[in-house]
Structure formats: C-alpha cells, structure tokens
Structure 1
Amino acid sequence: MAQPRRSVQSCPHLADTDARKSAGIARRGGMVAARMIGADFAEARRILRDPTARQAGFLADLVTRFGTMRAPVLYLSGAAHRRQRSATARFFAPRIVTAEYRALMEQTTDLLVDRLVRDGRADLDTLSLELAVTVAAEIVGLTDSDPAGMATRLERLAGGMQDQTSWPARLMGYLRGQARAMNVFYRDVKPAIRARRRAPREDVVSHLLAEGYNDRQILTECLTYGAAGMITTREFITMAGWHLLDRDDLRQRFLSTDEPGRIALLEEILRLEPVVGMLYRRLGADEAARGKGEVIGIDIRASNADEAVVGRCPHAIDPDRAIAGKVGGAGMAFGDGEHRCPGAQVALQESAIFLDRLLRVPNLRLERAPDIGWNALIAGYELRGATLACGTAS
C-alpha cells in the first residue's frame, strides 16, 4: 500500500541535498525573456491561467507570422482552444487511458523488457522512445507506418526546430523543421489519413477528419499531440529511471508501493526535473495584435522549487513530500491553465508501468550514465546513451 505523506518540514537530513541531474545543463543552456518569473509559484500560475495570455513559446511567433493554415491547438486560446480541447479530451481522460491503453502499455513493456533480458544490454532512452511512440501513435492514430522509422523521423524533426536566439537562425530552424515535418507527413500521417477515411476509429486523426480538417491541418495537430508527447515522455522515463537506478532506497520504495505510490514518486522526480523547463506567454495582445504585447518567461524549474509551495529542501527528492493544497505532485511540470498538457495521465501511467517491470529485472544496472544535452525549443534536457545491463556482470 502507498505510504502516507509526511510534511516536508521534517527533512533536515536533506537540507543540503541537490539531486537535480539536469541543473548544470539548464544553467548552460540558458532561458531568456525580457521578464522572467522565477521561484514564485503563485505568480507563475496566475500568468498561465490568465485568460488574456497568449502562447509565446514553441516558435509561436514564427507560426503566427508565417503560418497559412488553421492554427493548431497549441497556439489557440480562449473559446477556440476550449472547443478543441473539449472535443479531444475523451482520448486523454484517466478512465479512457486505463480502459483503452493500459493493455497496450503492458504488452509493449513486456516486449521491450524481454528483449533487454534476451540481449543482456540496451539503452534506456531507446526503450523509452519505443514505448512512448507506440502508445502515443495509438492515441493519435498514427498506426499505419513503421513505428521505428516514425520514431527516427520525429526525433530528427525535434532537432530541426531548435529555438535559436537570432532571428535568421530561428527562421532557418523553422524552415528546416517544416521540411522534416513534410517527411513525417508523407511517411506517417498520410497513410493514417487514408486508413481512417476508409475505416474511422476512436482516435485523434478520425476526430479531425470528422471535423473537416484538411491534410496539412491534421499534420500540425499530429505533431502537437504526437511528437510532443513522444519526445517529452521519452526524456522523463529516462530521467526517472536514472534516479531510481542511482539510489537503491528510491528503487526499493518504488517497487514496494502500489501504483498510486509509484506515480507519486514519479511526480516528485518530475517536479525536480521538468522536461519542459520554460513556458512563455504574451500579455496585453488581442487576437488581431500579432507579435505585440509583453512576453513573459516562466521558469518552471524555479517555480517548482518555491518553498512556499513545496516546503523545505526543494532540490531534494522526498518521496513523502507534502505539497501545498491544490497543487499537483509534479508542480507545474505539465504546465497550467488552458494549455496544461492533456497527456499527463498517459505519461505518468506508462512510466509507472514500464519502470515497475524494468526495475524488477534481476541484476539490472545502469552500466553507462546518459550524456546530457539541451533542446532549446523546449528549454529542456535530452538524455542519450543510458546503457542498461542485466544478467551476470562481465
């Protein structure tokens, strides 16, 4: 059974602990805005929930300025955003996630872990990407192409749209990303559209077709719902696995509790190591005022360490942390307000299922810690080369 959470005020033994594995790369990567909100959780949440705020991150200015299609849900706001989110909420509701996708998560996990045991070695980041792609593809409807190839194409796409500081570099990154997006379209999205036109299913692509979206509009939504979820879930599973394999006490705590307890511990790790480290909002601009208004950067990493909300020892992993009321265990790692990540339940459940099965493999060990890189588009870490080994040590 999950153990009761105690107050973080009883953590003097953690007072000098900084467990963040991504702190160094975040400092070097830099997160810049004219006005920044740091360790003030309440102010950050107020801005994210401000009904007049507009999306200003994830290349929103370039998409707004040069985009010719109906804006994807990531860039919508107000009534238009609420309509689209309400229409797709059924694909991400906790009840649906458990009823419709849990079996897929478990089956995919078993295949991946069995392969690791058979081969004796695998990269955790590769395994987590395969899991994330398989689950997200089912929800979105991208099930009519090669999953491994799609994972590679989506990974290249994310690298092609890095958010640079100079305007020419940002434009070139945007155009490079557009070219790679078209590769995803012809190889992955177009086959799904053809299949769903013949036989609709209960997935995002079928919904968009029923709403009259054209092919390019469906592509933008697939990249929003699919690519974003696949890439960020991959990084989080790798980061959480790294922490759990590094600390035997956390690993044993994770394995000895029930699933709600495992998810609570994963949320605590995600609070400390949010994959998306910075969110941007534009204030003081109506829908017609493109590119105007004040851009505010919200430092999620700092906000999630606000002691007024998370208590003492904010940079430590405390499985019993008692966070202030009406604040989730992951803080704002999934965002807040109208753009809060719709796939939070999916990411947490598949992470809990996969890591529970993985960490029970006999003699499992992290043979090589991952290299840490930086993705400027999401102001977040990238972990590569986290080599797992099992069986008899050589």
Structure 2
Amino acid sequence: MELDCRDDRKTSFHNGAYDQPAFERISRKVVRIRGINLARQVLRSAGFRQAGFMAELASRFTRSSGAPVLFQEGEAHRKQRSATAPFFAPKMVATRYRQLIAEKSARLMNDLRSPGHADLDTMGMELSVAVTAEIVGPTDSSQSGLSNRLNSFLADKDRESVGTLANSVRMALAFYRMLRFFFCDVMPAIRSRRALGRDDIISHLIDQGYSTREILTECITYGGAGVATTRELIVVAAWHLFDSPDLRKRFLDSDETGRIVVLEEVLRLEPVVGALYRRAEQDMVLNDSGRTEGVTAGTLLAIDIRAVNADPAAAGVCPHRLDPDRQIQDHRLPRSLMSFGDGPHRCPGAAVALQESVIFLEQLFRIPGIRLARTPTIASNLVVESYELRGAIVTCI
C-alpha cells in the first residue's frame, strides 16, 4: 500500500527543503541544528545558555539575579520556575483559568454573531491577552489598550531596515513602546499589588524583591510569549479545521483530551516559534547517532524547530502530513515535539495555550453556518522567526 506523504503545511517558507543536514556549520561561530537528537542534547545541557529572543533586552535592563526566568540558568532558574509553576499548573488551568477562558470565548462568539463576521486573529488576540493579564497581573488598565501595547512588541515591521539611522529609529521606537507599556499597564499593577497583593506573577515578583525595571522586563517576556503562541495557534488550527471536514468532525466528536491531540499535531506541523537559540558556555561535544560534532565556547546554536519537528527519527514516516494518529517514536517526547521547547526552559504556559485554543475553537465550530470567508495572509515574524497569520475572516451568515 502506497503511503500518502502529502505536505499539509500551510505556513512553511521552505517547502521542498527536506534533505538538509542535522548539523550544519553556518560559520566558525554559528551552527544550525535540525535533528531531534541534537536538539534535545542542546536544550537539556547545562553547557548552553539562552540566546536570541529578548536576551539582549534582559541583559541590558536587569541585573543577573533579577533577570526574567526565561534567561536565568542553573539553580536560580530552577528556584524561580518552581516558585512560578503553580501559576501554570494543569490544576490551576482547569480551575481558576478555565472559567475565564470559557466566558471570554462565549463573549467573543456573541460578538461574532451580532454582525455575522469577525477577524479571527483579533478574536484570538483578545482571548490570549485576557488570560495572560490574569496570570501575569497587568489588569488595572483597559484590555484593548493592553492588547495594542503587547502587540507592538511582536509586530515590529521595521526590523528589516538596515543602517545607522534605521537602527536609531528602531531603538527609539522600542524604548517608546516599553515606556508606554510600563506607565499604562505595569506601573498601575505594581502600585495596586503593593497595596494589596494578588495571586499573580507581579505580586510574586514584588515579594521576591524585584525592581520595577525587572518586573517590566518579566511582563514583556511573559506577555509577548503568551500572546504570540496562543493567537497564532488559534488561527492556524482553525484554518486546518475549516479546510478539512474530516479533521473538524474528529475534533468536535472527541473529548477534550482528543481535541488537544489534534491541536498538538497541528502545532508539531506548524510551530509558532520557528527557532530557539543557545550559546555554548564552554567547549562541548555533541553526539549525532554516533557521529561527534565539536562546538567551541561562544558558538551560537540555532535550533530549527520546523526541521526538528519533521525529523523522521521523532515524527516517523510522512512527517509533513497532518496526522493526529501519528506515533511519536520516542515516548519521552510530547506529541507537539519541540514546539514548546524542551528541557529546563520548556515553555511553562504550554497547558494554558492548549486549553485556551481548545475551548475557543470548540465554541467557534459549534456556531451554525460558521465558515472561513477569507484565508489569512502569511507574513514572517522576525521576532520569533516564524509566521504571522492576519486577516482571516470568519462568518456565520
């Protein structure tokens, strides 16, 4: 029987590039990783530290002891992850946040029914901002304003400009966006929580003695990551469900666990974060199925998540086909493979993002006559080296 090895990816910028090496030296100090085994070694090793996404911002605006948890390493990172773990624990998601997600999703569906149409990524943004604000703490400002300010950190369209003037303008805009977020959203939350603490991350950071600057950086990190992952997952998963009646029927006929299986396979195929970066702190040797590769201290390792998630060693046969029944070769790996990272820095909000998306999409596809009137446009997001899906219009007329 001939296998159906079709390519179901909707967001790939590199269709057809299947045979690239698992380990590639881009230059003397830059390496590209595309194999699952090498990626796990790098992400789980204490010999590499975080690099890339907002690392320069963290080092510039915080002392090392007060750096965002995303950029901490070793014992400091372990302690902070343990302290903040309750905010993202499955039990907390199922109790405290579930009702918020369901109620916010219901309001968004009512807003859709009234005119009979809506922008899907705007709906996803509103939901993810509401949930992220509840977890992190900037709830003392208007949600629409908070949404715009968080989005400004992710949608920096000036990053492709080059030159001294362009860099100066970019830095000025980044500083303006940061100040606006601080004074409109973060500082009001800090004031109110210093007067009366709440069960959120800002309150926790105040108790830990973090400065206002360090709390700001943490809020940008958590806020940006939480909003970006969920919004794009909602849109890309909805796109697949609209285009495949069989997949949509399976999703709606399944229980919540089964629906999450569908979303994890979508996320494996279409990871929202396309690359993770680590920098070697010492000379290291990686083992690629018996073949050793040396990495010198200071080397930047770019882990290509799209390629890693399509490595047959993990995904099995036909890795570019969307298949919720896919058997992941290594039982230690989640069905989404490296889409939420791996090791000590694996995304703490994975359960939240999946729960938000499942509840939202289940409510969306229960609306009679719901259809995708316009498919989204695909752009590249240079912040997370992946895709942005904008302009998807759903109707129920």
Do they fold alike, i.e. is TM over 0.5? yes
- How many residues of Structure 1 are paired with residues of Structure 2 in the alignment? 371
CA contact (8 A) 1:366 1:388 kept: yes
For 1:134, the aligned partner's letter is A
Partner of 1:311: 316
CA contact (8 A) 1:160 1:180 kept: no
Per-residue deviation, residues 110-135 of structure 1 (Å, max 9, x unmatched): 00011111110001100000000001
CA distance in 1 between partners of 2:157 and 2:201 (Å): 24
Tell me the TM-score normalized by structure 1: 0.89
Partner of 1:223: 220
Could you say what secondary structure the match of 2:372 adopts?
strand
Please report how far the alpha carbon of residue 176 of structure 1 lies from its aligned counterpart in structure 2 after TM superposition: 2.8
CA distance in 2 between partners of 1:355 and 1:277 (Å): 23
1:136 to 132, 136, 145: 132
Partner of 1:19: 8
CA contact (8 A) 1:275 1:380 kept: yes
Partner of 2:49: 54
1:1-394 aligned within 5 A: 12-15=2-5, 17-24=6-13, 34-38=30-34, 40-61=35-56, 63-64=58-59, 66-69=60-63, 70-160=66-156, 173-285=170-282, 293-324=298-329, 325-391=331-397
For 2:365, the aligned partner's letter is L
Could you say what secondary structure the match of 1:317 adopts?
coil
Per-residue deviation, residues 63-84 of structure 1 (Å, max 9, x unmatched): 43x4454322221111111111
Please report how far the alpha carbon of residue 177 of structure 1 lies from its aligned counterpart in structure 2 after TM superposition: 2.0
Could you say what secondary structure the match of 1:213 adopts?
coil
Please report how far the alpha carbon of residue 179 of structure 1 lies from its aligned counterpart in structure 2 after TM superposition: 2.2
Please report how far the alpha carbon of residue 251 of structure 1 lies from its aligned counterpart in structure 2 after TM superposition: 0.5
CA distance in 1 between partners of 2:266 and 2:125 (Å): 19
Please report how far the alpha carbon of residue 24 of structure 1 lies from its aligned counterpart in structure 2 after TM superposition: 2.6
Partner of 1:3: none
Relative to structure 1, the CA distance from residue 379 to residue 328 in structure 2 (aligned partners, 3 Å threshold; closer, same or farther) is same
CA contact (8 A) 1:26 1:374 kept: no
Relative to structure 1, the CA distance from residue 262 to residue 342 in structure 2 (aligned partners, 3 Å threshold; closer, same or farther) is same
CA distance in 2 between partners of 1:338 and 1:77 (Å): 9
Structure 1 runs (4+) deviating above 6 angstroms are 25-28
CA contact (8 A) 1:59 1:163 kept: no
CA distance in 2 between partners of 1:160 and 1:178 (Å): 13
Please report how far the alpha carbon of residue 161 of structure 1 lies from its aligned counterpart in structure 2 after TM superposition: 8.7
CA contact (8 A) 1:72 1:220 kept: yes
Per-residue deviation, residues 180-227 of structure 1 (Å, max 9, x unmatched): 011111101111111111221111011011111121111111111122
CA contact (8 A) 1:161 1:177 kept: no
Per-residue deviation, residues 128-162 of structure 1 (Å, max 9, x unmatched): 00000001110111111101111111111222397
CA distance in 2 between partners of 1:312 and 1:170 (Å): 45
Please report how far the alpha carbon of residue 163 of structure 1 lies from its aligned counterpart in structure 2 after TM superposition: 6.1
CA contact (8 A) 2:8 2:321 kept: yes
CA distance in 1 between partners of 2:79 and 2:106 (Å): 37
Please report how far the alpha carbon of residue 172 of structure 1 lies from its aligned counterpart in structure 2 after TM superposition: 5.6
CA contact (8 A) 1:160 1:174 kept: no
For 1:155, the aligned partner's letter is N
CA contact (8 A) 2:155 2:381 kept: yes
CA distance in 2 between partners of 1:182 and 1:277 (Å): 28
Partner of 2:291: none
For 1:344, the aligned partner's letter is A
For 1:305, the aligned partner's letter is A
CA distance in 2 between partners of 1:22 and 1:237 (Å): 14
Relative to structure 1, the CA distance from residue 167 to residue 271 in structure 2 (aligned partners, 3 Å threshold; closer, same or farther) is farther
CA distance in 2 between partners of 1:249 and 1:236 (Å): 19
CA distance in 2 between partners of 1:330 and 1:46 (Å): 18
CA distance in 1 between partners of 2:14 and 2:319 (Å): 19
Give the root-mean-square deviation of aligned CA atoms. Answer: 2.3
Counting strand residues as a fraction of each chain, which structure ranks higher? 2
Listed as ranges, the gaps of 5+ residues in structure 1 are 1-9, 287-291
For 2:129, the aligned partner's letter is V
CA contact (8 A) 2:58 2:217 kept: no
Listed as ranges, the gaps of 5+ residues in structure 2 are 18-23, 284-296
CA distance in 2 between partners of 1:149 and 1:230 (Å): 14
CA contact (8 A) 2:137 2:200 kept: yes
CA contact (8 A) 2:62 2:214 kept: no
For 1:202, the aligned partner's letter is D
